[in-house]
Structure 1
Amino acid sequence: MARRLYPLGIQTFSEIINRGMLYVDKTEYIYRMASNGKYFFLGRPRRFGKSLLVSTMQSYFEGRKDLFKGLAIERLEKEWTEYPVLHFDMSGGKHMEEEQLEDYLNYRLEEEEKKWGITKPHAGANNRLIDLINTVYKRSGKQVVVLIDEYDAPMLDVAHEVDQLGKLRNVMRNFYSPLKMCESKLRFVFITGITKFSQLSIFSELNNINNISMDNEYAGICGITIDELLTYMSYDIDMLAETHDLTREAAIAKLKESYDGYHFSAESPDVFNPYSLLNSFSKKEFGDYWFGSGTPTYLINMMHKFNVLPTDIITRIEADASEFDAPTETMVSIMPLLYQSGYITIKNYNRDYNYYTLDVPNKEVKVGLTRALIPAYVTHNTLATTNTARRIAQALDKQDMNGALELLQTFLGTVPYCDNTHYEGHYQQMLFIVFSLLTDYLVDVEVHTPKGRVDIVLLTHTNLYLLELKIDSDSSSDMRQIDLKEYRQRFALSGKPITKVGINFDTKEGNITDWIIE
């Protein structure tokens, strides 16, 4: 078989088809939408295939039947009516002030106006869009399709700045306002983005938009489902397995561990990150591709704004949908932004009590997110932190907790003193980050038991470690506290030997002074 062509960095449907590149058929979803409504919104994380979906829609509505041979929509669509399409990609409107954004919108409008012979446009982006839709409708004799990709791109980087966000939001609201008043001249409107801004703030007039972001029937519209992986990429799995001398089953398990785990509704199938999956097949390596392609500045800025602790996000959370599928500009916690950006995802849904369990989707995101937190909570020397974590993992694989703590003590001796080392939580967060870098282990904090709680629980390949932290005390008192609370009973079901560890920190030194292991 010839070498597979992967559409890395290519988001144009016609180019992918014409060049014979790998394409996972999502056209049935498009037909379903086109047949059942007019206004749709879809939110998905970055690099999840939104732009390709929009490009596919454009080819479909332009009636380019030749591009869809062998795809689901070829047998579903009987008419193939050609419609005029206005496609606006807002991803180029990032990092702009108010006037710059207005200029950008006018530039994008001018591109479309030239196609339809408009040489003297009205002033103002909203007036120009109204005139453009009216002109296209009149000259083509058909309703117009409007596709807006990454609608929120201009606002994301200032989401933490109330004044600047308000100014840019008004510009965008003004631009989108004609979509409601031109309803009779529109065949279909599809809007994508990462975040969910409140309908009143952005689409104040568009009160009939159908948000399909958490609909079960559209949960697999972006990304690669497990069935699609096994169907479209069976050959790729075998090639990857052969390269790494793995069985097919082991290669699938490794792909699932690294890139799977996303769920976008209560009954969503398993969804893989498409960007990471295609990169893995192309490079034949299990690398960190999605997170490695850049941590958005808006995420880090919002973490600082909400004083987020690592244990707040790299852990399981139970929440009502309204607490994470919520407008980002009115959010009271960072949970909606983390969910909508793809850093946490749905892991379970309890129908009886109507709540969701959310967690980090997979190993790639967990490691990337943990590394992104190192400078703010441990040290700016991320290399030293990750190297120390690696050596600690090697020690724990040998069941050498004493050696692991010696490594940790040496490392903390290199970390600059900071003002907030006088409370136990500071050290708990530091250890949580370091242990979270041990990707093959499970770590949790504040684990409740029938008679108390455990500061940190670490499950390795061989042992279950219960860590009790104290400051300016002594490690033996830590161990007595563990004994008194009878922590062993709570974790007996792990089936692994339980090792209790008492660790004492000196706030003046900012380091471990002593410990006791039982």
Structure 2
Amino acid sequence: MDQNMKRLPYGINDFEAVIEQNQYYVDKTMYLPLLENQPSNIFFIRPRRFGKSIFLSMLHAYYDCSKKEKFQTLFGDLWVGKHPTPLQGKYQILHLDFSYVGGGIEKLEENFNMYLRVKLDGFMRVYQEFYLADFKERFFKSDSGTEKLALLQDETATKNLPLYLIIDEYDNFTNTVLNEQGENVYWAITHADGFYRDVFKKFKGMFERIFITGVSPVTLDDVTSGFNIGWHISTKPEFNQMLGFSMEEVRKMFAYYKEVGGIPAASDIEAMIDEMKPWYDNYCFSEDALHTQSKVFNSDMVIYYLRNYIDRGEAPKQMIDPNTMTDYNKMKKLLQLDKLDGDRKGVIRTIAETGQIVTTLEETFPASRLTNPQTFTSLLFYYGMLTIKGTFGDMMILGIPNNNVR
């Protein structure tokens, strides 16, 4: 086995750590110019464990003005290293992950404010050279996250400093509230003067570019009705394979590990892929990519399988990664299978019996429409429980993608 063999980044979400610690990175940097050609405010949904967090970490490293000097180290061997864009290293980045906001409903606003405050203080420490001492003193003295945002907005506008906002898991705690506290409590934080809606209002106009990810479009519709949400790119064909692994990427990864002795020389890569396909593959997120691109693998599952092969020289005995059971339990709570009305139970029954359902795919919808059976099938699609299998007239055929989901 080659001593310099790249380690598998199982469960690692830090792009810089992956590159600097000689871990295998599936290059997604060729999507950067495509993203720059989209409107400035981008919203992108994918199911859990499709590599959203490491993709955002890569975006952060690429656009961050404080990491400009590390460009060659981090990106020199990747596609964008040979094709840098004009926006590389241009921005101060505020990178938020709302999965860190939790606690009981009575403490939710306080916890959200505390998280925002901590992240903004961290932001100011990174970029302090751009700000005068008296401003920094006022900024750090404030104990309100939204006040810090307002201060930052005024100062960066005055100084013409470009900001980039990245939000991971934007809908994490709101989904939990919707499920556990009901629609009234959810409505209170996402509408009118609700604190979550209020902070989104402040984001608008403050950042030159915004990239938001999550697992469903529900909260987006509720908190951003003042936003123009035409930047939802989740079902555009050019971004179908931006997250997850394509067949070509899987084949290249396996060939690498065979070449460096990570997997036995006698291993049949095509047989390994054939073994994985029924369990981890067959995702398609764009109707227009249905017949022009290979299907997408769940990236977490592929790495889980390959790690077993490297450790033991054979496929895992349990094809489903036990770590994903937490995700499916979360999903089960979100879907409230025990509280479904007759129409939605009928949807589940149809899918269970036939493996698919004919429906229309809705790009965005408010929480108030989740009881609508058509909206419910779209929610199942965004959660990764269904995928695009074909078309029926102007309708979509959504089906169970693989054994893992089944």
Look up the SS of the partner of 2:358 in the other structure: strand
Distance in 1 (alpha carbons) for counterparts of 2:270 and 2:120: 50
> In angstroms, what is the RMSD of aligned CA positions?
2.6
Change over 3 Å in CA distance of 1:100–1:294 after alignment to 2: same
Tell me if 1:97 matches 2:105.
Answer: yes
Aligned with residue 224 of structure 1, among 221, 234, 245 = 245
Look up the SS of the partner of 1:40 in the other structure: strand
Q: Which residue of 2 aligns with 1:134?
A: 154
Distance in 2 (alpha carbons) for counterparts of 1:358 and 1:263: 10
How far the C-alpha of 1:99 sits from its partner, in A, is 3.2
Distance in 1 (alpha carbons) for counterparts of 2:366 and 2:79: 34
Change over 3 Å in CA distance of 1:264–1:127 after alignment to 2: same
Tell me if 1:65 matches 2:71.
Answer: yes
Change over 3 Å in CA distance of 1:78–1:318 after alignment to 2: closer
Aligned with residue 36 of structure 1, among 38, 55, 61 = 38
Q: TM-score, normalised by structure 1?
A: 0.63
1:345–1:360 Cα contact (<8 Å) kept: yes
How far the C-alpha of 1:27 sits from its partner, in A, is 1.0
How far the C-alpha of 1:127 sits from its partner, in A, is 3.8
Aligned with residue 337 of structure 2, among 303, 306, 328 = 303
Amino acid paired to 1:132? L
Deviations 1:459-483 (A, max 9, x none): xxxxxxxxxxxxxxxxxxxxxxxxx
Distance in 2 (alpha carbons) for counterparts of 1:177 and 1:296: 33
Q: Which residue of 2 aligns with 1:19?
A: 21
Aligned with residue 214 of structure 2, among 193, 215, 218 = 193
1:326–1:336 Cα contact (<8 Å) kept: no
Distance in 2 (alpha carbons) for counterparts of 1:246 and 1:329: 52
Look up the SS of the partner of 2:208 in the other structure: strand
How far the C-alpha of 1:108 sits from its partner, in A, is 2.7
Give 5+ residue unaligned stretches, structure 1: 367-518
2:183–2:367 Cα contact (<8 Å) kept: no
Distance in 2 (alpha carbons) for counterparts of 1:317 and 1:242: 42
Distance in 2 (alpha carbons) for counterparts of 1:242 and 1:355: 46
Task: Report sequence identity in percent.
Answer: 23
Aligned with residue 320 of structure 2, among 280, 288, 298 = 288
Aligned with residue 172 of structure 2, among 153, 156, 174 = 153
Distance in 2 (alpha carbons) for counterparts of 1:120 and 1:102: 17
More strand by share: 1
Distance in 1 (alpha carbons) for counterparts of 2:147 and 2:278: 50
Aligned with residue 318 of structure 1, among 355, 358, 368 = 358
Distance in 1 (alpha carbons) for counterparts of 2:224 and 2:99: 18
Q: Which residue of 1 aligns with 2:398?
A: 358
Aligned with residue 108 of structure 1, among 103, 116, 124 = 116
Aligned with residue 247 of structure 1, among 256, 268, 278 = 268
Distance in 1 (alpha carbons) for counterparts of 2:329 and 2:268: 36
Amino acid paired to 2:26? V
Distance in 1 (alpha carbons) for counterparts of 2:40 and 2:302: 32
Q: How many pairs align? A: 357
Deviations 1:2-23 (A, max 9, x none): 4441111111111101011111
Distance in 2 (alpha carbons) for counterparts of 1:49 and 1:36: 21
Aligned with residue 377 of structure 2, among 335, 343, 348 = 335
Q: Which residue of 2 aligns with 1:474?
A: none
Q: Using CA pairs under 8 Å that are at least 6 residues apart, name the structure with larger relative contact order, 1 or 2.
A: 2
Q: Which residue of 2 aligns with 1:178?
A: 202
Which has more radius of gyration?
Answer: 1
Distance in 2 (alpha carbons) for counterparts of 1:34 and 1:202: 24
How far the C-alpha of 1:130 sits from its partner, in A, is 2.6
Show the 5 A alignment for 1:471-510: none
Q: Which residue of 2 aligns with 1:274?
A: 299
Deviations 1:192-220 (A, max 9, x none): 11010265521132215500011111111
Look up the SS of the partner of 2:140 in the other structure: coil
Amino acid paired to 2:173? P
Change over 3 Å in CA distance of 1:232–1:325 after alignment to 2: farther
Q: Which residue of 2 aligns with 1:498?
A: none
How far the C-alpha of 1:228 sits from its partner, in A, is 1.2
How far the C-alpha of 1:326 sits from its partner, in A, is 4.1
Amino acid paired to 2:337? M
Amino acid paired to 2:71? K
How far the C-alpha of 1:321 sits from its partner, in A, is 1.6
